[in-house]
């Protein structure tokens, strides 16, 4: 039977607080175990895999930067929604392939979080063709996620509003592959996304 990690008192199954000392029971820690780790994980090969949360924050920083750049470009050209999709996907591909391929495997977000993309051996930096291959897979998923959002109305009628709502629901479905790709890190043994697996790369901590 489980015991309190603080005072050693035997616990009742499902108990959250120790009746003797008031500390959190071992059941609480067990419930938190499936969550993605906050700490880097050292592998037998001598490199340290970047955690899910580091990769997520790095992606979030890059996403904000690309969104701002995309909005500024789109505002300057006064383009359509389709033009916006092309700009976003194009920026994403160029940004990820150039920075990963030429700037020591790091986008700006990755540099801030002290992580980098390398070959799956954990030590070899990847060249531009590999970086472009990785970015291409990511960009294709991004295109799929926007396929049903190519038709937008400037002054929609009631029928067109219903049509757009239908498209929004389809949009959520089409985004699933893209979201699965990003979330794959949370349960993958090597903390890889699907575009990492496609290009045979991993992301490691540099600290």
Give the pTM: 0.69
Buried/exposed code over 77-101 (b: 16+ C-beta within 10 A; e: otherwise): eeeeeeebbebbbebbbebbbebbb
Mean pLDDT (the chain, rounded) = 80
Q: pLDDT tens digit string along 121-130?
A: 888 899 999 9
- Residue extents of the structural domains in the chain: 1-34, 36-205
Question: Measuring CA to CA, which residue among 40, 39, 49 is closest to residue 120?
Answer: 49
Q: Does residue 136 surpass a pLDDT of 60?
A: yes
| pLDDT, mean of residues 57-83 | 84
* CA separation, residue 62 to residues 20, 158, 193 (Å): 49, 37, 16
User: pLDDT at position 32, please?
Assistant: 45
Angstrom distance (rounded) from CA 145 to CA 138: 11
Question: Measuring CA to CA, which residue among 5, 10, 53 is closest to residue 29?
Answer: 5
| pLDDT, mean of residues 161-178 | 74
* CA separation, residue 86 to residues 71, 73, 81, 90, 153 (Å): 12, 11, 9, 6, 18
């Amino acid at each position: 039977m489980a015991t309190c990690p603080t005072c050693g008192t035997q616990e009742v199954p499902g108990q959250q607080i120790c009746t003797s000392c008031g500390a959190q029971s071992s059941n609480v820690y067990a419930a938190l175990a499936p969550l993605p780790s906050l700490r880097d994980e050292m592998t037998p090969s001598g490199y340290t895999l970047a955690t899910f949360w580091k990769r997520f924050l790095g992606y979030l920083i890059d996403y904000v930067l690309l969104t701002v750049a995309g909005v500024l470009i789109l505002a300057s050209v006064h383009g359509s929604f389709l033009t916006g999709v092309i700009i976003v996907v194009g920026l994403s591909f160029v940004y990820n392939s150039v920075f990963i391929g030429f700037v020591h495997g790091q986008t700006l977000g990755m540099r801030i979080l002290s992580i980098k993309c390398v070959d799956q051996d954990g030590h070899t930096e990847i060249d531009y063709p590999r970086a472009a291959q990785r970015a291409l897979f990511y960009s294709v998923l991004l295109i799929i996620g926007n396929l049903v959002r190519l038709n937008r109305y400037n002054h929609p009628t009631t029928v067109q509003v219903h049509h757009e709502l239908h498209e929004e629901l389809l949009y959520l479905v089409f985004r699933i592959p893209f979201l699965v790709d990003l979330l794959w890190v949370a349960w993958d043994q090597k903390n890889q996304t699907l575009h990492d697996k496609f290009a045979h790369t991993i992301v490691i901590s540099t600290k």
